[in-house]
Structure 1
Amino acid sequence: MKSKLLNSLCLLLSWFSHSQSELYVLMKTPQNNTRSNGTCRVGSYRDSYDITYREGSFAITGNSTVIKVDYQEGYNDDPGFDCNGPCGAYSEYCNGVEIQRTLNHFGEYENIYTGEDPIECTSNTCKPISYFAVLLPKLITPSDRICEKKPIFPTHSDGVNHNVSGLTWQFYSSAGRWEDIPTFKNRFPLNVSLLSIFGNNWRTRFNGNLQLRYKLNNSFSSSTIYSRSTYTIVLTECSPELVGEILPIHTRCNYTTDGKFTMTVNRNLVANEKLVVSLYEENVLNGTYFFRSQESTGTLVNNSNGTYSYTWNQDIDSGNYNIKFQTLLGGGSSIPSTDPSWATLEFSDEFTILNPNELDFNVVKLNDETCFNNGNGKIRINILDNEPGRSFQYKIYKVSGTSITTFRDWTNFSTSSFEIDSLDKNIYRIKVRDNEECYAR
């Protein structure tokens, strides 16, 4: 339920963040031939355009918009204007709407004119136009710091990597200029990591935080349209990544509070780097988690398979837990929350520490001594409940008034029902424990 609510909230926030859009338009109109040759002029007598969006970038409210291009042109064979000579023939054409489309997010429209330029009046056709438009959701700069392994922008709410014609991402380089990112062209948003773009030497490619923008070009135009915003991505280092699930170490006995856990990560710590782990425990009354304790270490166990482990030192009781962890580079012995060298804060899934089953038994008298001083009394120990896979020990005491003495010291047995013989007439007390030294109580 928590996961579903969280996903719903994320989708809702994503919807709100994308309710604003940006339209990008590139266009080119060929030149008309307006030479006076005694026969005709095209577009010089009457030339009217009704275009909702000309070349440029536009902020759009909502997730869609309508692009409309409507021409009306006149033809006049009079070499003069407004009948300053003998009035010639005049006609209008192109009275319909040439382009009218509704664009939703990532919707594109493109029309490329391939006729003569300038247009000769012999063509007697509508004045052509090359037109490209694309509607994109407005990108929101991430509010959290991004580390080198995390996507720079989260994927759009529909979870698809979209292709946008003519889009190229740029970054502001350490050379003090905007440079193209050669990979991931036409991809929107840029939901890839710094390592994917620049490799391990990403810190040398730019100074400080990463500044991004994108541009749009088209084959029919020499113009370039840039994104309406420049995005500054605040960076940090990545903490190690968890490998697999947290491994719980359950309490030794049902009444002890000596549980622990082991976490495994995908890299070792570097010099002067600490792993800081915060433990959170579930409140069984309301299902929320509260802070329990924190540990830090500068040393991990090498598992000889490319992974490294850390086992929690403090004893903890049974319950549901999760952890938050991050690394601190160059922080010395203290762990100040304001240290600028904190790496990303990572979260684990919930894990559970359990108590083993309680050890329980009873004793049944099978027979008393058959004769005086015969010493052949017999009892049976029955194990009623226990942790599977464990063996057992019993110890017998003789009780005489207030005196208690050991009659038979700890003796092993492994079956759930065990007979003890050679007992004389007396009062006995019996203790039972398992091989983990958990006592029946």
Structure 2
Amino acid sequence: MKKIIILTVLLYSFLGYGQEYTLWLSGKGTHDIIIPTSQAPYRSIRRIYYKSLTPPYLVNDEAIRDTGIHDIQSNSSFPLKARYELSYTPNFNGVFETKIGSINLKKFESVFVGCELEEAGKTGFGPSEIRHYTNYNYPVHIFQWAIVLPKYVQPSIINSERTLTDKLFISQENIFTDPVIDVPYVKWQYQTNLTTFFWKDFPPSIQNKFPMNHTIEDILVDEMTPLKDIKTIRVRMVLSPPPSRGYKKNFLGFYEEQDIMMPVVYSEIFKFNIFDASPQLQEPVVTQKTSCNYNKDGSFTLNFNRDLNLGESLAITLYIQNSITGEYDIIADGGQILNISSLQNKSYTWPNPLPADSYVVKYQSHSGSLSGTDASWNSLEPSNPFVIAKAASVDFSATSHSDESCYDTNDGYIEIQATGEASRTYFYQYSIDGGVNYINWLPFSNANKTILSGLGKGNYKIKVKDNKGCLARN
């Protein structure tokens, strides 16, 4: 006889953390079969209605689904509920008996619906009670195989770039905090830019792991090709249920028990570019003072441990310290340079003039285009703070000496002493008509000291500047 049953393989179930999940199904959601017995053909009609799937719905929020990957509503709690209806008639007399039951769908749990195959010739047909099994090790005619798995999504272009030591999935929507387990009959596969015509299974130790928390290097550990030659990797998940046992007509037209292959289900393909690790910043950041204490033209230079590779660009975001909160805020105007294609001797000097203040930078290398608001910036650690200082202000003192030997002899003098940035030289000019006219700029006779000699009696107005053009403002 045939006993209609619901069979479940219980693996694990965990509390959700807000991530998205999907329902994978292999087999039809409705089934109408004829099973020969020793007494008469047996006809069975089966339907499964899944709750908490996304529309379209068949009844209320229930849906019948066939082979494929189906979205689960994001606000769903686990376990998910499913309702099944099994109708049967032993003798094709037009009268069906129906049994209605329910099952729970837990994360990473395989649930299969089908008929257990027993010895032919026995009497008494009909749906039996729901049974749970821990192993798939007996002949069974599976109608539909179901499992709840994480919903992985293709990262954005910038978020799909990896180094060998990066985890495969690092963007927030692909981070699942469920304990990692092995999920039978679901495996991970990959291709590289060097093996585009066939798929390879992940190494045995990680090929059935969910959630997937391993690095690119872990995935490629068995590759014979030098890893430096691998520039892209494509990955997918595959559900391959075990063969079902059932009755099919043979070439003579008689029903016989045989293997029936379940549909294989494939996820979308996730693509990643593999790069060398981003250039490492060699701190401390080298800063350049403002040219004058009142100017806003400071700068800084970032030194890295290597140059950029072909096709690799560098993006830098600059943050300035908020004088009120003490936090660092992105500079709204000119604070991001996203596509630096080359370095000068492994260095990059900020091109935009900056006021004296405290700063930090974030940076990342990438290929293609990168948005300044891309979420990838949130995961980056800033540099240590660095300060662009003001240049020392130019100042001077002037001491007059009136030791004229005669009334009409111009032999008075004024001694000027200047202070400011070390190593700079100084210039002076003066006016004897209250600042209307000045003589041309003259250099100091010594590094920071000079004497104006041959002066007659009068009032002198003096200006001093350094060789960078910075004026003393006294």
Normalised-by-shorter TM-score class: 0.3 to 0.5
TM-score normalized with structure 1 length: 0.47
